[in-house]
């Protein structure tokens, strides 16, 4: 049994310890906001926070997440920065299909917590682990700058 704290709520999970957090969230707990994209930490669609750090849940076994605070897209709006990013995402009409955007917002939230006023280069570096196949990168960039209050 592994005990996970997800969005402030405790869950006892009866899955093998090597089960990735991603599939635990999606299949066991029905929290489908976190997406599967590659299974190898290459695309960022599955990004969640572990004690505030952006991590790829597809390669994070639940044993490594036990005892830490897990935050997912479903609750990131309770955080001021997360909420500002969700708003900026809508203001800029960022999403196209929307599939990767949960991961994008989770990465952006972690970035702004660590670096509240990021440079263009810092934004690009922080966001380059998240693939968007629809090609919303320029709008993501602008939305992050708006949320950070560093727009020109």
Could you tell me the two tokens for 52?
């505030």
Q: Sheet of 2-6: strands edge to edge?
A: 9-13, 2-6, 69-71, 47-50, 53-56
Its sign, for the CA torsion 40, 42, 48, 51, is positive
- 3-class DSSP state of 49: strand
The CB-of-32 to other proteins minimum distance in angstroms stands at 4
> What are phi and psi for residue 11, nearest 5 degrees?
-135, 130
Which H helix or E strand runs over 11? strand 9-13
Q: Which is nearer to other proteins, 119 or 138 (CB)?
A: 138
Q: Name the minimum Å distance from CB 69 to other proteins.
A: 17
Nearer to other proteins by C-beta: 5 or 137? 137
Residue closer to other proteins (CB basis): 2 or 130: 130
List residues binding other proteins (CB under 8 A).
Answer: 15-16, 19-20, 23, 26-28, 30-40, 42-43, 45, 72-74, 77, 85-86, 89-93, 95-102, 105, 123-125, 127-141
CB of 64 to other proteins, least distance (A): 15
| Of 19 and 69, CB closest to other proteins | 19
Question: Which residue bears the tokens 């976190």?
Answer: 34
CB of 102 to other proteins, least distance (A): 5
User: What's the CA gap between 143 and 121, in Å, rounded?
Assistant: 15
């Amino acid at each position: 049994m592994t005990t996970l704290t997800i969005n402030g709520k405790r869950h006892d999970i009866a899955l093998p310890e090597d089960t990735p957090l991603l599939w635990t969230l999606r299949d066991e707990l029905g929290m489908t906001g976190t997406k599967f994209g590659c299974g190898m930490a290459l695309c960022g669609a599955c990004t969640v926070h572990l004690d505030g750090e952006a991590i790829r849940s597809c390669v994070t076994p639940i044993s490594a997440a036990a005892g830490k605070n897990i935050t997912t897209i479903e609750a990131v709006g309770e955080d001021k920065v997360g909420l500002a990013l969700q708003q900026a995402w809508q203001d800029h009409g960022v999403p196209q299909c929307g599939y990767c955007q949960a991961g994008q917002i989770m990465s952006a939230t972690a970035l702004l917590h660590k670096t509240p006023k990021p440079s263009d280069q810092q934004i690009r570096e922080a966001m380059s682990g998240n693939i968007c196949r629809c090609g919303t990168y320029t709008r993501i960039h602008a939305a992050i700058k708006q949320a950070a209050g560093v727009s020109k």
